Chains A and B, each alone.
Chain A
């Protein structure tokens, strides 16, 4: 019987059109996705972490199936929920429940049948992926060997278990409630699980719990593959182990429990009973009372057809029906739960939260929560549009003389009220969270602007869309599904090259709020797009009106006819006005984005880069003069977002041949160039306005050693607004202008070339090496900061608004006011790199002083009033840094140290000479709880890092070759770590380094070209920062901090202010080797010249008490060392390594720690300690790179 029921369910569903619509959509998405990642579309820009990952690799297919399968939750709800709910809706349960079938037959059969349908639908994803990889036109380099198991396996471990467990949950909900709404609420709850896991994962201590909490298993999948290199991704099958296995078991277990509960509770009679509850109790009929009153029909009634006056009441009724039920409460509860979870990792950097400033809270409420809101809107739109029909009240309602627009508008308004209520609730939650975190500066105005002014409009646009879709599609579940398709389309259009917001319904470029600059210049664009899409929404609502189902209309033809009937005067006028406004605003936006500004999608941007390379690569060999002095007058007009820079470059021919022509290039093509000339006779021979390259022919060549002056006067003005991005260099308050982005560059800029091979291929450019070899003499001629200058002298005058302070590298010479503006003159007294910036804002300044041995150095922090939280930390870090570095490496070259805050349009700090621009996003609002075990004082760390750059970059500058950035970034990391260690101790460093290790290992997966050893790093951040930290910390542990410092001091002595030729990693390694004892020389090889990973673990540790209060600890240790190649392919490496063996107490503090030489894989080690051991093992403090650091030390068990 069960079989028959299952087969019947399966057959009836499979023959339904909706099944195949789902199938087709998933199939199309899968084909599109894989084809885009496989390079079929030139515009597309999609990859699985790295372009080197084959699109048909087991990893890529698993990702595709898992991700698209997550969107499939809506299908699971429709298919699984409907499998039983349909009997309640169509009242067909009478037939089944009166048949001699058991509960098991009925429920089991329906479930199996529906599950079969899900199998059919979801098979489309794998089929689509397989088909896509066979399409002609796919980039052969992005296709690997294909295997059937790569397609089957992800189903077995992800999608089928998901269908089973989520299906079982939905099925149970539907069979107990007989309704679909709770099923959809269930799907939202599943999603919340996923969202919470995304939030939790930001703290590495939470990664395991985060992987477990996601019912889709997607986070678990990410977790077990997060350290997979390109080679792993291409070759390895996803193993069903660890958190993934646990996740699957956990959720299948939960689903089994729920299903069992549902099965026990389900009874035919309850299911068949009338749906009453709460207020709806069975009512006894009243006996007829005779005589009755005369018929009211006789009473005259004034009929005034319902109209606008009824709208508020109907809206309220619709809203009440939506909000006043348990499911809405569940939703709200889930939302609040999510918020509470998410707020625990608010703005986490190194597992340390920021203060819950309002923009952080609103960002949290708007970001991931937006998806949640989208689903609520989509669901309730369907519920509202279908409410009368679902309750079979439609005929009565439709026959009343109410105008057709009345139900439509009242439903739309009611739907629009739902996000209003939620947003207000979220606002209250946000403030509550702020209170709990001890933050009392409630910016209610900002809350209102963000939540009710910006986000709410987004949601309202969605409401209009959802109502329109449900009205037009006129099929509830298909309508829901189309909303999901809309969401997917909107999310991925950009990646497919459709980047203009004008054709993405509801797309509004974000307005980033900054405490410093408020909403700044973003508002006009925001309003323009809001108005544009509102007009679009009005058109949609008119469309919804035209297609609104009233009465029992049949097919499309009839509905179109009906629509035509409704297209009378007023509607036509509305349509015309709506269209006019829509087109008008669209044109206005287009005028701004494409006429006043240049609009280029990524591909067009890449094409520009390719053109530049094709056209000018040859000129790289043309000898060019180099800049030796820069003098700029910078006039900032913050309120107009305009800056004008005029001044001079002093040029010198440092070649040994004459210079006959000079190439000047600008990065931007929207500058006004007022003046560009030389003090020697030169003719503008070629002017490429498209690529902004100018060639000047010198009348008389510059002989070697000859000098000349270039006069320039350029202006960057802001006109209207752009489609994406914006001028965040000059803003109302908090300008930060990097000179290199505006001032002319000399000669060919190799950095302007396309670097990723897959991009180069699109434009028929041969693959190229990212950087020159470490010792390439040509490469040593330039530093990696600027190709057209060495060490220069610098002076500037900067003018700004009267109430702002403007700062640039150098020392203040003079400050004056003139014409309502304020001017500052700065001059640098030592040579600097061709690397400088101007900042201007309404700053407060905190001053302090570092008393050095030789001289005192004033410290100034320019900050936004209100951001006082971490000023003392920054100042303390500065002092500690200057102290440590000047002792260890050599004197600080400047007489002053300044930190300047800038708005959070970017989140970094950057070291310019004696000047550190520091984003408000990374440290100014950090909340480091004193004494908290986990919090990392990252404002301290960032400050120390930037301070270290005054040595590592501004004294010792690496050449533009492999390993060049190791001299600056890695050494700055090392220096900062030492300052941190001094203050916070070894234990805290472990917390920090755990993040660094995690980011290094995770970064490998996204390698676009090849991973290189540290000493050959090609400006790869995960290597020079993250691996750099781990390696340098280990190095100082192996050979001693003093020795490392000795080597670095020698480096400074040899290389400070040197170049060309510029120093390289070879020189650094020479100094490091010089201080390394012979038996540890291999460490230098492993750390800097190779990619080495350990797979160390302790399998067992026991102890017994010895007389005299001593303890004997025995450990079984597996030691393994592996070497990886550039794509992460690994092989075992011979082991003869000195590695820590340690015993830890209950706080994790070593009671025994000693380097032992390991020469074989399996080792038994016994040590005797004085204190009771708690954990023991190999490399217990995780100094070496190891993907599973936590199995290094294990609990020590007592043996008797």
Chain B
């Protein structure tokens, strides 16, 4: 099963182009959509979740038995869809059980016995069963997020879209959440948007980097990381020299380490004697892509997107 997105574009009435010709193929498993805030991730997610129309382009959910036009046949998608929005609320006075049961009804779980089983099961899995009769208004951020995932799992969805799910979770909660997602991702397509690189590197077999509405890179995280092997250089400079360095070299990231500024620079050759070659991490690829240092040479993932050629290595 795969989700094939082709040439998706969207311009808002205020002139902001949120999506520019987005083309992606998303296979079963966790797919990380990585990009800074405002990159167009949520627009893409909402479009896939049938909540928004695109101006042009297409998206299809294909499996062995059929092909669903995501943009047109919204009802068919919704039957296969689990969606956890970036921000969501609950009726504060309604209990977790009642709310989930209600949503299950809306999802179309018409068989009562089956529904109750599923609702109970999901609450157990998200570890909310013990508080199932408590009003949602009193839930902590993590509990609420788990409730969100529970509702997204209702009805055995084939396509699960989770928008920035770990924002606001403490590290422990995040780990739990990751485990949950990883488990889900074994069987269905899970599109996970985030701006936290480690979410993707930890979890996702496939990913894309998106900025200003465009897909900059897509592929498997380790392959994307590999594109920088041998081209990434680092040095430490005093903070005062940062501005000069930025003018002089293609700096993709800076980081303070023990009072010194460590800069990562991209280049096919060693930029200077003070620079040492470093092993790239996904984060470097991400910053390079966002900074526009990869876009020119590495074309945005061609369709059907295999890993980009590791030619430059």
A residues lining the B interface (CB < 8 Å): 274-276, 278-286, 288-289, 292-293, 295-306, 309-310, 313, 317, 321, 391-393, 395-403, 406, 550-555, 557-558, 561-562
Decide yes or no whether B137 CB sits under 8 A from chain A: yes
B90: which A residues are within 8 A, CB to CB?
A: 391, 393
Question: How near does chain A come to B115, taking the closest CB pair, in angstroms?
Answer: 8
Is there contact, CB below 8 Å, between A301 and B51?
no
Is there contact, CB below 8 Å, between A281 and B135?
yes
Decide yes or no whether B139 CB sits under 8 A from chain A: yes
Best-buried of A289, A321, A391, A400 by chain B (most CB within 10 Å): A400
A313: which B residues are within 8 A, CB to CB?
A: 105
Question: How near does chain B come to A187, taking the closest CB pair, in angstroms?
Answer: 24
Best-buried of A285, A397, A403 by chain B (most CB within 10 Å): A285
Q: How far, in whole Å, are A456 and B60 apart by their CA atoms in the complex?
A: 49
B49: which A residues are within 8 A, CB to CB?
A: 395, 399, 551
Is there contact, CB below 8 Å, between B127 and A301?
no
Is there contact, CB below 8 Å, between B124 and A303?
no
Q: How far, in whole Å, are A321 and B118 apart by their CA atoms in the complex?
A: 25
- Among all A-B residue pairs, the 10 with the closest Cβ atoms: A551-B51, A280-B137, A392-B89, A296-B121, A280-B135, A401-B78, A555-B13, A395-B85, A399-B83, A283-B138
Q: How far, in whole Å, are A743 and B54 apart by their CA atoms in the complex?
A: 75
Is there contact, CB below 8 Å, between B51 and A550?
yes
Question: How near does chain A come to B145, taking the closest CB pair, in angstroms?
Answer: 11
Provide the B203-235 mask, 1 if CB < 8 A to any CB of A, else 0.
000000000000000000000000000000000
Question: How near does chain B come to A270, taking the closest CB pair, in angstroms?
Answer: 15
Count of chain A to chain B residue pairs whose CB atoms are closer than 8 Å in the complex: 175
Q: How far, in whole Å, are A276 and B91 apart by their CA atoms in the complex?
A: 11
A274: which B residues are within 8 A, CB to CB?
A: 137-138
B53: which A residues are within 8 A, CB to CB?
A: 553, 558, 561-562
Is there contact, CB below 8 Å, between A400 and B88?
no
A299-B156, A551-B50 are known contacts. Are A400 and B143 too (CB-CB below 8 A)?
no
Question: How near does chain B come to A1190, taking the closest CB pair, in angstroms?
Answer: 54
Is there contact, CB below 8 Å, between B131 and A283?
yes
Best-buried of A392, A395, A552 by chain B (most CB within 10 Å): A395
Q: How far, in whole Å, are A551 and B117 apart by their CA atoms in the complex?
A: 29
Is there contact, CB below 8 Å, between B187 and A301?
no
| Sampled A-B contacts (15; CB under 8 Å) | A281-B138, A285-B131, A295-B125, A298-B187, A304-B110, A306-B107, A392-B89, A395-B85, A396-B103, A400-B78, A401-B108, A551-B50, A553-B53, A555-B13, A558-B13
Partner among A306, A392, A555, A558 whose Cβ is within 8 Å of the Cβ of B88: A392
Is there contact, CB below 8 Å, between B122 and A296?
yes
Question: How near does chain A come to B132, taking the closest CB pair, in angstroms?
Answer: 10
Of residues 121 through 173 on chain B, the ones whose CB sits less than 8 Å from some CB of chain A are 121-122, 124-125, 127-128, 130-131, 134-140, 142-143, 148, 151, 153-157
Partner among A289, A310, A552 whose Cβ is within 8 Å of the Cβ of B46: A552
A274-B138, A301-B155, A551-B46 are known contacts. Are A391 and B91 too (CB-CB below 8 A)?
yes
B residues lining the A interface (CB < 8 Å): 12-13, 46, 49-53, 75, 78-79, 81, 83-85, 87-93, 95, 102-103, 105-111, 114, 117-118, 121-122, 124-125, 127-128, 130-131, 134-140, 142-143, 148, 151, 153-157, 176, 183-184, 187-188
Q: How far, in whole Å, are A288 and B125 apart by their CA atoms in the complex?
A: 10
B103: which A residues are within 8 A, CB to CB?
A: 396-397, 400
Is there contact, CB below 8 Å, between B156 and A297?
yes
A280: which B residues are within 8 A, CB to CB?
A: 92-93, 135-138
A396: which B residues are within 8 A, CB to CB?
A: 83-85, 88, 103, 148, 151
B121: which A residues are within 8 A, CB to CB?
A: 293, 296, 299
Is there contact, CB below 8 Å, between B78 and A299?
no
A306-B110, A392-B88, A395-B85 are known contacts. Are A300 and B52 too (CB-CB below 8 A)?
no
Q: How far, in whole Å, are A274 and B89 apart by their CA atoms in the complex?
A: 12
Partner among B114, B124, B130, B156 whose Cβ is within 8 Å of the Cβ of A292: B124
Is there contact, CB below 8 Å, between B75 and A305?
yes
Chain A residue nearest to B161 (CB atoms) is A399
Partner among A288, A303, A395 whose Cβ is within 8 Å of the Cβ of B79: A303
B156: which A residues are within 8 A, CB to CB?
A: 297, 299-301, 303
A289-B127, A552-B46 are known contacts. Are A297 and B188 too (CB-CB below 8 A)?
yes
Question: How near does chain A come to B232, taking the closest CB pair, in angstroms?
Answer: 39
A298: which B residues are within 8 A, CB to CB?
A: 187
A392: which B residues are within 8 A, CB to CB?
A: 87-89
Q: How far, in whole Å, are A397 and B81 apart by their CA atoms in the complex?
A: 12
Is there contact, CB below 8 Å, between B52 and A551?
yes
Q: How far, in whole Å, are A393 and B118 apart by their CA atoms in the complex?
A: 21
Q: How far, in whole Å, are A284 and B134 apart by their CA atoms in the complex?
A: 10
Is there contact, CB below 8 Å, between A302 and B111?
yes
Is there contact, CB below 8 Å, between B107 and A303?
yes
B142: which A residues are within 8 A, CB to CB?
A: 285
A406-B106, A552-B46 known; 13 new pairs, CB 8 Å cut-off, are: A285-B143, A286-B130, A286-B131, A292-B127, A296-B121, A299-B121, A300-B156, A303-B156, A391-B91, A393-B88, A396-B148, A399-B78, A400-B108
Chain A residue nearest to B140 (CB atoms) is A285
A393: which B residues are within 8 A, CB to CB?
A: 88-91
Q: How far, in whole Å, are A275 and B138 apart by their CA atoms in the complex?
A: 8
Question: How near does chain A come to B155, taking the closest CB pair, in angstroms?
Answer: 5
Q: How far, in whole Å, are A406 and B52 apart by their CA atoms in the complex?
A: 19
Question: How near does chain A come to B84, taking the closest CB pair, in angstroms?
Answer: 8
Q: How far, in whole Å, are A279 and B133 apart by their CA atoms in the complex?
A: 10
B187: which A residues are within 8 A, CB to CB?
A: 297-298
Is there contact, CB below 8 Å, between A395 and B108?
no
Question: How near does chain B come to A129, taking the closest CB pair, in angstroms?
Answer: 38
B84: which A residues are within 8 A, CB to CB?
A: 396
Partner among A283, A293, A297, A400 whose Cβ is within 8 Å of the Cβ of B139: A283
Partner among A276, A297, A310 whose Cβ is within 8 Å of the Cβ of B106: A310
